[in-house]
């Protein structure tokens, strides 16, 4: 694959602007010997590069090319999972421009959030430009488990935990909503596992058992746990093993 096409696919602008980056000498490519070479510096430069796994630098910043991007983000409080936020900064402002500009057939640019977390909710958030992956992870029919750490206003009783497991009614919806798992970690800490996603679901479920959410943190999706060393506001690509973990029920 031509290098300018790889840069374009990774979100570095139009093909013309990507060709311009190469011509001005700000793109380096890691060769088979493990040495960085300025792209296009001489006539012996490689014409074709692998579309997947190419290590390159643009203006000194290192990247790896991926045909599809799968990203985990530690969402901080006070951010919205929208590209057009209404009252708080967007989570997309935490990502570098190329991830926001990756072209794909769907029309919309860049990676998209896989589901949403409320602005005051923290924790594990996935983003991708793979439409099938987004649908598979977001669809309630797939029953992908999501684990939440809930701090409650009032002490938790065993009866409240059992109600959450048996099912509660949210507002005037007659269909019972059940937790896949619920563990009383301490008097005010509940570990709640859900396999569907409704609007403000955790908050409404706690309200249905006469309690209240004081803080909410998503710690796990599928078998993928939020790494301890990924701090609020930080992101990174999923490894192949992590991608398998997140897709396992």
- Please report which confidence band the pLDDT of residue 63 belongs to, taking 50, 70 and 90 as the band edges: very high
User: Do residues 111 and 98 share a domain?
Assistant: yes
In this structure, are 153 and 216 located in the same domain? yes
- Strand, helix or coil for residue 192: strand
Q: Do 149 and 135 fall within a single domain?
A: no
Q: Give pLDDT, residue 41.
A: 65
Query: What is the CATH number for 174?
Result: 3.30.70.1560
Cβ atoms of 205 and 211 closer than 8 Å: no
Number of domains in the chain: 3
pLDDT digits over 111-135, tens only?
A: 999 999 999 999 999 999 999 999 9
Query: Do 132 and 233 fall into the same domain?
Result: yes
Say yes or no: 207 and 154 in one domain: yes
- Percent of the chain with pLDDT strictly greater than 70: 96
Catalytic residues: 118
Give the burial string for 167-194 (b: 16+ CB within 10 Å, else e). ebebeeeeeebbbeebebeeebebbbeb
Q: Do 11 and 38 lie in a common domain? A: yes
CATH of residue 81: 3.30.70.580
Domain that holds residue 108: 70-141+224-247
Are 243 and 136 in a shared domain? yes
**Helix residue spans in the chain (DSSP H):** 3-9, 15-23, 97-101, 131-138, 158-166, 201-208, 240-247
* 234 in the same domain as 123: yes
> pLDDT category, 171, cuts 50, 70, 90?
confident
Over residues 196-235, the pLDDT tens digits come to: 888 899 999 999 999 999 999 999 999 999 999 999 999 9
């Amino acid at each position: 694959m031509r290098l300018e096409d790889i840069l374009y696919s990774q979100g570095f602008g139009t093909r013309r602007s990507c060709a311009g980056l190469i011509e001005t000498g700000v793109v380096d490519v890691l060769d088979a010997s493990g040495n960085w070479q300025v792209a296009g510096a001489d006539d012996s430069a490689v014409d074709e590069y692998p579309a997947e796994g190419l290590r390159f630098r643009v203006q000194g910043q290192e990247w790896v090319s991926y045909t599809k991007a799968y990203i985990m983000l530690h969402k901080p409080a006070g951010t919205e999972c929208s590209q057009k936020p209404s009252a708080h900064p967007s989570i997309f402002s935490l990502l570098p421009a190329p991830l926001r500009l990756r072209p794909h057939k769907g029309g919309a640019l860049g990676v998209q959030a896989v589901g949403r977390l409320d602005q005051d909710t923290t924790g594990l958030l996935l983003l991708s430009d793979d439409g099938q992956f987004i649908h598979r992870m977001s669809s309630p029919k797939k029953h992908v488990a999501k684990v939440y750490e809930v701090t409650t206003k009032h002490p938790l009783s065993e009866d409240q935990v059992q109600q959450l497991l048996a099912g509660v009614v949210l507002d005037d919806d007659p269909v019972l909503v059940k937790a896949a798992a619920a563990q009383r970690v301490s008097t005010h800490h509940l570990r709640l596992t859900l396999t569907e996603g409704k609007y403000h679901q955790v908050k409404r479920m706690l309200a249905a058992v006469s309690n209240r959410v004081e803080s909410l943190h998503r710690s796990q999706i599928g078998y993928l746990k939020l790494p301890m060393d990924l701090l609020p506001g930080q992101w990174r690509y999923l490894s192949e093993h992590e991608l398998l973990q997140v897709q396992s029920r």
